[in-house]
Amino acid sequence: MIKQFKPTWMVNAIYDLQPAKLKSMGIKAVFTDLDNTVIPWNNPDGTPQLRTWLAELAKFNIRLVVISNNKHARVARAVHNLELEFISRAFKPSPSGINRALNRYHLRNEDVIMVGDQILTDVWASNNAHVRSVLVKPLVDSDAWVTKFNRKLEIIIMKALRKRYPDLKWQEEIK
């Protein structure tokens, strides 16, 4: 049961994923959650750190696709300045958004990783889609109210995960 909530890796932030390393692992695209993973949920402007990382990804020809449960207009507005590709209304933890992205870009499950700050949406959706996942820490501590409720559940799930998988740890990078 707890297996469906297990992330493949856990790192502090999306910027900790080194594009050169991803390339060497054969990863062709990074799928990512929007709020609190790529940008703080209450601040839609990308940081210089994000822009540097995006440029590095592009250099290695790795595609970035935002996969968000938010509606089209909200996601479009959030990613407009960064010119990111996106899927809206992904219905995570359903695999439907991830599958739509795989189909759209002609990618196989093993070509991608999915990054997100929530076990109950991002990690669960990844496992449902049979895609490797990276759990990151939320960029800001405050959350929208729905997320606050999920966070309480996630603390309980994380305890069960640590018990079942003692090797599951926050890492500097994925390996």
Q: Which residues bind Mg ion (CB under 5 A)?
A: 33, 35-36, 117
Token code pair at residue 104: 């759209």
Cβ distance to Mg ion smaller for residue 24 or 42:
42
Q: Smallest gap, in angstroms, from Cβ of residue 12 to Mg ion? A: 15
Cβ distance to Mg ion smaller for residue 99 or 147:
147
Q: What distance in Å separates the CA atoms of residue 47 and residue 166, rounded to the nearest whole number?
A: 34
Q: Smallest gap, in angstroms, from Cβ of residue 59 to Mg ion? A: 26
Cβ distance to Mg ion smaller for residue 25 or 144:
144
Contacts 24+ apart (CB under 8 A), 132-136: 132/8, 132/9, 133/7, 133/8, 133/9, 134/7, 134/8, 134/9, 134/10, 134/11, 134/14, 134/17, 134/174, 135/7, 135/9, 135/10, 135/11, 136/10, 136/11, 136/12, 136/13, 136/14, 136/16, 136/37
Where are the extended beta strands (E) located within 105-153? 112-116, 132-136
Cβ distance to Mg ion smaller for residue 102 or 136:
136
Phi and psi based region of residue 35 (left: phi greater than 0; alpha: psi -120 to 50; beta: remaining): beta
Cβ distance to Mg ion smaller for residue 117 or 154:
117
Q: Smallest gap, in angstroms, from Cβ of residue 154 to Mg ion? A: 11
Q: Smallest gap, in angstroms, from Cβ of residue 41 to Mg ion? A: 7
Q: Smallest gap, in angstroms, from Cβ of residue 128 to Mg ion? A: 17
> Using only C-alpha atoms, what is the Rg of the chain?
15
